[in-house]
């Protein structure tokens, strides 16, 4: 995954941003705002396991970036009173890397693997036996003389996180005892989250100020907290330090976050689609080149919100700007502009790239 260049409201946080966000992350399930069904299910899972005195089943958390998968992994460890080891799929390049991590775990530990779908195949196959039998076979040597040395692993709980659950193999998915999908937050839920974060950070904020930020936060807690810190900077430098609706609007205008929550890159994608490709359809790679970004960034960061906001549609022939997308840019949509849910195929599909 590629991090967005300006780093302001990207769902992928930089190291510095992650450090700043740690202070506002909830530490217990009771403090976790929203995701009520997932929270209730996790509570049952954890309490049942603690009552039996055994590690809970392995947990898979899926959903777009920034919705709290890493936070929930840390909460699982805190609720169990266990240690946690954190790694990521791309960091596990060889089966030996994973074997070293697994054999260093103590009984009851939580192993968190972020972006688990990007783990190397040999490491994934080693993980199967560790998840089921708490045992790994380490191969020593090569060729006919290679031998497999079985090593026991202390009982542990794996928490896997993925933004692309469809890329997980069937054998991997089947070994998780609990699978949860995290949904985008509502503006009301983000409002509550922002008020809590403002109290922790010591930011004076009015109810209409937090509501204004929540409305433009794309349903994502990570983005909401990041915008709060940027609005705080604006309030301290150019206002009296209190975040009001007027201050929030002025600050977000400085940071190129519009009324719907689109930032510079979102608008660049939508503008390129409308102005350069007559609304589409256009392939992902072509669209990414037009805005000077990587395809992964456009697909993983921009598209989910643009599609959810009804401004862009993904079709078998490529990306298409909807009528709402044209109007959001202040353009008049041509006849035949794509309307989500329409049964017929518009004539507009005759233009543009057919690249998927």
Indicate which residue of 4, 25, 69, 232 is catalytic.
69
- The SS3 of residue 216 is coil
For residue 212, what are the contacts with CB-CB under 8 A and spacing of at least 6? 245, 248, 249, 252
DSSP state of 228: H
Dist CA 35 CA 337 (whole Å): 35
Indicate which residue of 25, 70, 232, 286 is catalytic.
70
Q: How far is CA 324 from CA 141, 144, 243, in A?
A: 61, 64, 31
Tell which phi-psi region holds residue 295, choosing left (phi > 0), alpha (psi between -120 and 50) or beta.
alpha
Q: Is 222 a catalytic residue?
A: yes
Q: Is 27 a catalytic residue?
A: no
Q: How far is CA 146 from CA 96, 121, 123, in A?
A: 15, 19, 18
DSSP state of 332: P
Question: With contact defined as beta carbons under 8 Å apart, do 156 and 109 qualify?
Answer: yes
The dihedral sign for the CA sequence 312, 313, 318, 323:
negative
Question: With contact defined as beta carbons under 8 Å apart, do 241 and 85 qualify?
Answer: no
Q: Is 118 a catalytic residue?
A: no
Indicate which residue of 4, 175, 216, 222 is catalytic.
222
58-86 per-residue burial string, b: 16 or more CB within 10 A, e: under 16:
bbbbbbbbbbbbbbbbbbbbebbebebbe
Indicate which residue of 114, 191, 263, 266 is catalytic.
114
Indicate which residue of 71, 157, 162, 163 is catalytic.
163
Q: Is 142 a catalytic residue?
A: no
Q: Is 69 a catalytic residue?
A: yes
Residues identified as active-site: 69-70, 114, 163, 222
């Amino acid at each position: 995954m590629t991090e967005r260049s300006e780093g302001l409201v990207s769902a992928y946080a930089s190291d510095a941003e992650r450090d700043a966000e740690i202070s506002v992350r909830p530490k217990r399930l009771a403090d976790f705002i929203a995701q009520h069904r997932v929270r209730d299910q996790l509570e049952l899972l954890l309490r049942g396991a603690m009552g039996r005195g055994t590690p809970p089943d392995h947990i898979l958390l899926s959903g777009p970036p920034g919705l709290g998968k890493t936070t929930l992994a840390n909460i699982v460890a805190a609720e169990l009173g266990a240690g946690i080891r954190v790694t990521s799929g791309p960091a596990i390049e060889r089966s030996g890397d994973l074997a070293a991590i697994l054999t260093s775990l103590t009984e009851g530990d939580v192993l968190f693997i972020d972006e688990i779908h990007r783990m190397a195949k040999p490491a994934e196959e080693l993980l199967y036996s560790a998840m089921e039998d708490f045992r790994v076979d380490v191969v020593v040597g090569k060729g006919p003389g290679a031998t497999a040395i079985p090593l026991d692993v202390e009982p542990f709980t794996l928490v896997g996180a993925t933004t692309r659950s469809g890329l997980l193999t069937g054998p991997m998915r089947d070994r998780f005892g609990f699978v949860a999908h995290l949904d985008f937050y509502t503006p009301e839920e983000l409002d509550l989250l922002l008020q809590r974060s403002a109290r922790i950070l010591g930011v004076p904020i009015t109810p209409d100020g937090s509501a204004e930020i929540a409305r433009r936060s794309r349903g994502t807690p990570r983005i909401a907290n990041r915008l709060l810190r940027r609005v705080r900077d604006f309030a301290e430098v150019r206002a009296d330090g209190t975040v009001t609706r007027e201050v929030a609007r002025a600050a977000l205008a400085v940071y190129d976050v519009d009324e719907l929550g689109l930032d510079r890159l979102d608008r660049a994608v939508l503008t390129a689609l409308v102005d350069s490709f007559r609304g589409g359809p256009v392939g992902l790679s072509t669209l990414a080149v037009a805005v000077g970004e990587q395809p992964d960034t456009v697909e993983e960061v921009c598209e989910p919100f643009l599609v959810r906001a009804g401004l862009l549609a993904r079709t078998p022939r490529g990306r298409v700007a909807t009528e709402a997308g044209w109007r959001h840019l202040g353009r008049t949509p041509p006849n035949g502009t794509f309307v989500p849910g329409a049964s017929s195929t518009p004539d507009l599909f005759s233009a543009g790239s057919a690249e998927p």
